[in-house]
Structure 1
């Protein structure tokens, strides 16, 4: 089974919301749509599910053109971040609802509901109604309905966003196994880069209604093709700044410079954009070859065993605000100058048009 988008676009009131998009999404792994709120993830899911019309292009399921087919005829399931269940129905009837609509025989229907409830640990709750369930149990009910339906495609639109941290982690770990071997194309939308990495599979990075890169998730994280992809796949935000290359030297602002190595050393002289993830900018120099920066601390955060600091690079002669993320607790003070150390070997270099060059 494969879901193929061929030059698909979406317009709202004459405005292009989804730019021309071509993707082939397959079974056997999660297909993740990763992007910030407003990037187009939900719009693209609605197109694939048949909830919104396609302005141009075509959508194929297993080679069959389903562009004009209704949602019901596409045999898909959609799970939202909100707990969408029928409040007047029991958990059993909520799970069974699409099977009843399809006219399935009672014996087969019961087998599917019981199997899905067992997988989602809902068997003791089958006779309850949604208002008698916790948020996690309500979302499990929605997922059980998708499993029982045995759809050709399952769309999960930020399904864990409204759950507490523990439930979110628990369900996230279970989801790949829940849908493994079911023959469905699974599409999962999220705004969290860490979630995409944990789910694995393949990821389509989205920004402003456009897919900026698509491929195996770990490969995209390690090798963004353009600066837009690097920005989408980083939380906290990836640090960027303009550098000037002359000979084998790179200069950031007026006071920071270092010797370029590898592919970056062979670039033509001129201006480029450097991008480096926050965990490669640290407050203590523990390795050779790090480049010293000096910045005024703007915001600090302590999260578990990690410390982050947002700092203004103007003290180093560069008009940028960067983020440092490091293990341990560090004595940052807002408003004070602090030294930070960047590992240039971990930096990406992009041309003025945003394409990756080193």
Structure 2
């Protein structure tokens, strides 16, 4: 089946929660809604699932207008960030509940429930009630209930947010394979760019109630259509600063600059905004071609596996994200190395002009 939004909007009083949106989602792969908290991801899921009605526009399933249909008549599954289970039922009965409603034979129900329970590591808990489970176990129960039901659409609204790290990582790997081949539209909302990349599929970038780009996840990451897309799909945020191109030179504030060649050298001279993701700005020259830049360190965040430094350069605060532990002193100037071949150049309207390559 296909799920389509046609010119859908959602307004509450004077506030517009979803601006006019058209989107077509196909079955068989992950469709990811990626955006910050309050970007509009949950509202879009509620509109698709029938929990809310759009102010204007239509929701269509296989070409049929289902805008006025209740969630029960749409044959969907929905898992929230905050687990919802039936407190008076065992885990087995919670998982089995949609199958019983659908009239599935008892012999088949047991096998399907146990299969879902094995995948989500719930087999030892099947005879417990939800109040006897940890929060993570309760969320796994809710996931199992959604998976076991053969729905036309499965909506997952940040379903792994409350799970422990190890289980979250395992489920991120398992979910695409687990849900593949069902002919089901899968919509997965997340605020984590890394999670979107791990899940793959296709991603819609959501910002302030608008979808700013939609397409294959890795393609959007490597080729954001505009400055806003690059900002949404970067954590920590993408580094941005105004630059001026003159001939084969890019000039950055603070006296920094670099030589360009090829397609970047061919773009018209003038003002642009350069963007580079934090992991291409390092305290040591780890990339093949780098440009030295200097800035005053303002904030540091150190862990056992990586170091983050926020530094001020020419009136702009940039972020460096690098593996390992690096010694920074807050308030002191530090040298960093940027990989210019990974720069994005945006025009005055914010659209991507070119992805960079450089020499020197």
Query: Does the TM-score normalized on the shorter chain lie above 0.5?
Result: yes
| Secondary structure class of the residue paired with 2:285 | coil
Work out the CA distance in 1 between the residues paired with 2:132 and 2:288.
Answer: 59
Work out the CA distance in 1 between the residues paired with 2:126 and 2:16.
Answer: 44
Equivalence for 1:133: 133
State which of 332, 337, 358 in structure 2 corresponds to 1:336. 332
Equivalence for 2:206: 206
Equivalence for 1:319: 315
Kindly state the Cα deviation for residue 264 of structure 1 after the two structures are TM-superposed: 2.4
Deviation digits for residues 221-248 of structure 1 (CA, Å, limit 9, x no counterpart): 1110100000011111110001112222
Equivalence for 2:57: 57
- Aligned partners of 2:297 and 2:334 also within 8 Å: yes
State yes or no: 1:175 paired with 2:162: no
- Aligned partners of 2:298 and 2:310 also within 8 Å: yes
Kindly state the Cα deviation for residue 286 of structure 1 after the two structures are TM-superposed: 4.5
Kindly state the Cα deviation for residue 50 of structure 1 after the two structures are TM-superposed: 0.5
Kindly state the Cα deviation for residue 250 of structure 1 after the two structures are TM-superposed: 1.5
Deviation digits for residues 24-50 of structure 1 (CA, Å, limit 9, x no counterpart): 111221111111101111010000010
- Range with bigger deviation, 214-223 or 278-287: 278-287
| Secondary structure class of the residue paired with 2:77 | strand
Kindly state the Cα deviation for residue 103 of structure 1 after the two structures are TM-superposed: 4.7
State yes or no: 1:350 paired with 2:346: yes
Equivalence for 1:87: 87
Work out the CA distance in 2 between the residues paired with 1:304 and 1:163.
Answer: 22
Equivalence for 1:69: 69
State yes or no: 1:162 paired with 2:162: yes
- Range with bigger deviation, 268-277 or 187-196: 268-277
| Secondary structure class of the residue paired with 1:4 | strand
State yes or no: 1:33 paired with 2:33: yes
Work out the CA distance in 1 between the residues paired with 2:170 and 2:136.
Answer: 10
Work out the CA distance in 2 between the residues paired with 1:122 and 1:289.
Answer: 50
Equivalence for 2:259: 259
Deviation digits for residues 274-300 of structure 1 (CA, Å, limit 9, x no counterpart): 000111111123456422211111111
- Aligned partners of 1:264 and 1:357 also within 8 Å: no
Equivalence for 1:232: 232
- Aligned partners of 1:98 and 1:149 also within 8 Å: yes
Work out the CA distance in 2 between the residues paired with 1:348 and 1:147.
Answer: 40
Query: Unmatched 5+ residue regions in structure 1?
Result: none
Deviation digits for residues 161-207 of structure 1 (CA, Å, limit 9, x no counterpart): 01121121122121112212222111110011110010011111111
Kindly state the Cα deviation for residue 107 of structure 1 after the two structures are TM-superposed: 4.3
- Aligned partners of 2:9 and 2:20 also within 8 Å: yes
Work out the CA distance in 1 between the residues paired with 2:178 and 2:253.
Answer: 51
- Aligned partners of 1:81 and 1:162 also within 8 Å: yes
Q: 1:4 to 1:288 in 2, by over 3 A?
A: closer
- Range with bigger deviation, 282-291 or 132-141: 282-291
- Aligned partners of 1:10 and 1:17 also within 8 Å: yes
Q: How does 1:281-320 map to 2 (within 5 A)?
A: 281-286=281-286, 289-313=289-313, 318-320=314-316
- Range with bigger deviation, 134-143 or 72-81: 134-143
- Range with bigger deviation, 83-92 or 225-234: 83-92
Kindly state the Cα deviation for residue 12 of structure 1 after the two structures are TM-superposed: 1.2
Deviation digits for residues 141-179 of structure 1 (CA, Å, limit 9, x no counterpart): 111111222110000000010112112112212111221
Equivalence for 1:48: 48
Work out the CA distance in 1 between the residues paired with 2:304 and 2:203.
Answer: 28
Q: How many residues align?
A: 354
